[in-house]
Amino acid sequence: SELRHQESGTIPVVIALLVRLSKERNTNEDRLSSLPDEILILILDKLDARTTITTTILSKRWLNLPRRSHTCYDFAVDDLLPPRYHRLKRLWMEAKAAYEAEKSPYVTTNRDAVNLSDFYAMKDKMDQWTRRIRPLTAALERYERWAMRHYVKRVDAFLLPPDGVHRTIQKLRLQTFGRKWNQFIQRWVTAAIARWGVEDFELNVEGRCIAYDFKILDGCQNLQLKRLVLFNCPPLGSFNSLTFQRLTRLSLCKTSYFGLANRILTHCVHLLDFSIRYCPGYWAGGLRINVPTSRLKNLLVDNCKFGENLSAFTALS
């Protein structure tokens, strides 16, 4: 009853009381989880979205509690990585930039013009760079594996809880590593869009890209997705899926875009905003869009090699 009549500082009061009770009775009992559901829900309502997400791995009691205060969630693996990882990553990037600068004088547009001495000089530069970054790469990969093991537990507990758990998720962002974690990412995307009916979804895959086939969602009844942002996740063969046909905003970044802009706009009949960012690919013809029936109102091309050779003939022109 003492908890029910506290004023707005609910969380500090609860923690203070639990600390006092633990001192009075020397026990390892989880007193926080033994509180009534209505008190635990009150605690969750006072927490920010990120802390609320963390509580899903505390115990089964916390996992099954409704979370009614937040509808926007951000799961970033970067939040689990220590500062040392980011320092090593900067060193790795600096070493790579130095290698690229040293290599450029030996690279020509005409391969036939490269003589044998230039070839061996470039090979020596590459060997030196490989020896320099090998220990950095090993350390970075260890940190990434450690972070992803914790990340998988956290996201699984939130997106793949037992049946009967209800929560509202309108906006969701996942920032994760690719590589060997593809099977987990596939399950998360499916659960977010099909089970929870996310309306605004962003998937940022660091490192090696993965592909997701959005056609597998065509038979789902709870599709509400309106905005989709993909980093390093090419939606291969998905442009004619029901998921894409309902989109009003689409952003394809890095390797997620592989051309076919006309096909995208043809199938995405409700698309109003289309963005292409940080695209490393190069198409000799540039970016030419000719879809007069498109409802597109905004087209953004940012940091792409074909940005200087762009022509559009859509409703926006």
Kind and range of the H or E run holding 151: helix 116-159
pLDDT in tens, 209-264: 899 999 999 888 889 999 999 999 998 778 888 899 999 999 999 988 887 888 88
Q: Render pLDDT for 79-119 as a digit per residue (tens, 0 to 9).
A: 899 999 999 999 888 887 877 777 666 555 444 555 666 66
**Can you give the three-state secondary structure of 243-263, one letter per residue?**
HHHCCCEEEEEHHHCCCCHHH
pLDDT of residue 191: 95
Distances in whole angstroms, Cα of residue 244 to Cα of each of 74, 122, 226: 23, 45, 9
160: its two tokens: 């793949």
| Rounded alpha-carbon distances, angstroms, from residue 188 to 60, 122, 157 | 20, 43, 11
- pLDDT at position 27 is 56
Q: What is the mean pLDDT of the chain?
A: 78
Under 8 Å between Cβ of 257 and 279: yes
Burial 94-115 (b: 16+ CB within 10 A, else e): eeeeebeebeeebeeeeeeeee
Please tell me what DSSP assigns to residue 167: B
Model confidence pLDDT, tens digit, residues 20-68: 655 555 556 666 667 777 777 777 766 666 666 666 666 666 666 665 5
CB neighbourhood size of 195 (10 A): 14
Which of 194, 195, 207 lies closest to 165 in space, CA to CA?
195
pLDDT of residue 272: 94
d(CA 181, CA 250) in angstroms, rounded, equals: 24
Can you give the residue ranges of every domain in the chain?
9-64, 80-144, 168-302
Are the CB atoms for 309 and 287 separated by under 8 Å?
yes
